[in-house]
A and B are shown apart, each in its own frame.
Chain A
Amino acid sequence: MSETEHRRTVVIPGETIVEGDAYLPGEGTEKQGNKIVALRYGLSEESGKLVKVIPLSGVYQPRRGNIVIGKCSLITFNGWVIDIGVAENAFLPIMETPKFVAKDRLDEVMKIGDLAVVQIMGVNGRGIDVTIKSRGLGKIDEGFVFKINSNKVPRVIGKEGSMIKIIRDYTKCNITVGQNGFIWIKGDKIEDELFAKKAIEFITENSFIDGLTEKVEEWFKKNGGVKRE
């Protein structure tokens, strides 16, 4: 919550957020005459001229460029089908792997039931295409994965990753947050990993509090966390 964001209120569908010709309708809004009307339930936010509605509830909507965590549910002749917890299945073609994979060796990269961090390349009428070509993507070998409400993901990440950085400083765990609400924690010790999970649960339970980053630091100190290099 920075200075540029102001006047955040809960809006319901059909409610007029602002009136006047100076505004532009953003996500979740529509222009009706000179009014900007909300089309969904959420938190309205004005950043400059743009007015948008931030979702507070509902299922995750896949978007291009999102990094998500999913489970391999099927191997086809030319790729893998990944279940990322949305209505459409995500497809990872053989071409989107970082190195060459023979067509009969697909299960050496990923077997059914394996978890993977993938990036969404595109969402079209037939389904979702994903890739593991970039850094940080690919099969998950160690650590554990759990799920939170996908609407709380922005708070867990924090502004420019500030929240994740705090958790990493205190637990020395590697944390990957999928936009679909799945979180992968990998640390040296299981205690550290569980501590990080507890911290994330604390964030999700208090996601509406202002100045959450400081609150989380306080929480770490109270629960015996030590900042480590």
Chain B
Amino acid sequence: MTPKNFKRPDGRKLDEMRPFEAKVGIIPNADGSAMYKSGDTIAIAAVYGPKKMHPQHSQNPEKGTLRCTYNMNSFSVSERIKPGPSRRSTEISRITEWALEPVLMLDKFPNMVVDVHINIIQADAGTRCAGINAAAMALAHAGIPMKEMVSSISVGKLDKTIVVDLSKEEEDFEEGEGPTDIPISMTHSGNITHFQLDGKIDSKQLMEAIELAKKSCEEIYEVQKQALKNSINLNGGED
């Protein structure tokens, strides 16, 4: 399917992600926090709680609530964006909740809420995926019981070529069939918790894209794991 002469703008291979790194415990005030960086996209996440849900009528006596707030800082892009909640940020907040809730064991915290604040301090496409990756680490760091970790990556189709981890430049690709953006979040065992598709793609290529996402999520998982493990300094003194 891939034309022979296809080249990505930044010279990456088709299945090559941008250089990414993760760090845990970046916000001392929060109960849990993490940073995830992928290329020029930087997301920070802070977790507060479980704490009592206010107002009282929003409490759920069966299980706890996850409340995510996604926010893009006005300075995160070169053209200043208007601060405050928008249609887009509300949607991504909800998407993040749905992506993370399946792994959280919130039934232990009735009437309570876990607050996750995600801030994008620099944006270059793939911000929701970076946000979910950071939030998953921050939730683990906050000691919330979880079944698994969640990793997220955006796969895309540029004209007819499947590529991983689109940058802003690639998202604005306009040749041929144009760009298709598919952010996917999955657990370590390969269950998909979040899937979006913006554009068009045939079912065969879609399977190809999911396979590629699976492979990339595996790499992200390793980085998340290392970040969480490295945040505890055992001083080499443990047995």
Contact = CB atoms under 8 A, between A and B. Distances in A.
A6 B189 CA distance: 29
A41 interface: yes
B148 A13 contact: yes
A10 B229 contact: yes
Interface string A1-44: 00000111110111100000000000010000000000111110
Interface in A84-110: 87-88
A224 interface: no
Interface string A43-59: 10000000000011111
A126 B51 CA distance: 15
Interface string B65-80: 0000000000000000
A57 B143 contact: yes
A57 B31 contact: yes
A58 B32 contact: yes
B141 interface: yes
A10 B147 contact: no
Interface in B118-148: 140-148
B237 interface: yes
Nearest to B113: A87
A142 to B, nearest CB: 31
Contact of B145 (A9, A40, A57): A40
Given A13-B140, A14-B148, A58-B142, A208 B105 contact: no
Contacts of A226: none
A13 B221 CA distance: 11
Contacts of A88: 52, 111
Contact of B232 (A28, A56, A125): A56
Contact of B31 (A28, A43, A58, A211): A58
Contacts of A6: 239
Nearest to A38: B146
Nearest to B112: A87
B50 A87 contact: yes
A152 to B, nearest CB: 13
A12 B230 CA distance: 11
Nearest to B189: A14
B140 A41 contact: yes
B199 interface: no
B237 A12 contact: no
Given A57-B31, A87-B112, A39 B146 contact: yes
Interface string A206-222: 00111100000000000
Given A10-B228, A125-B61, A210-B235, A40 B143 contact: yes
A40 B237 contact: no
A210 B237 contact: yes
Interface centre among B50, B232, B235 (most CB of A within 10 A): B232
A125 B63 CA distance: 11
A88 B146 CA distance: 22
Contacts of B188: 14
B147 A13 contact: yes
A24 to B, nearest CB: 18
Q: Which of A39, A41, A56 has the most C-beta atoms of chain B within 10 angstroms of its own C-beta? A: A41
Contacts of B8: none
9 contacts: A10-B228, A39-B146, A40-B144, A57-B32, A57-B142, A59-B50, A87-B49, A125-B61, A208-B235
Interface of A: 6-10, 12-15, 28, 39-43, 55-59, 87-88, 125, 208-211
Given A58-B144, A208-B234, 7 more contacts: A12-B228, A14-B146, A57-B31, A57-B141, A125-B110, A210-B238, A211-B237
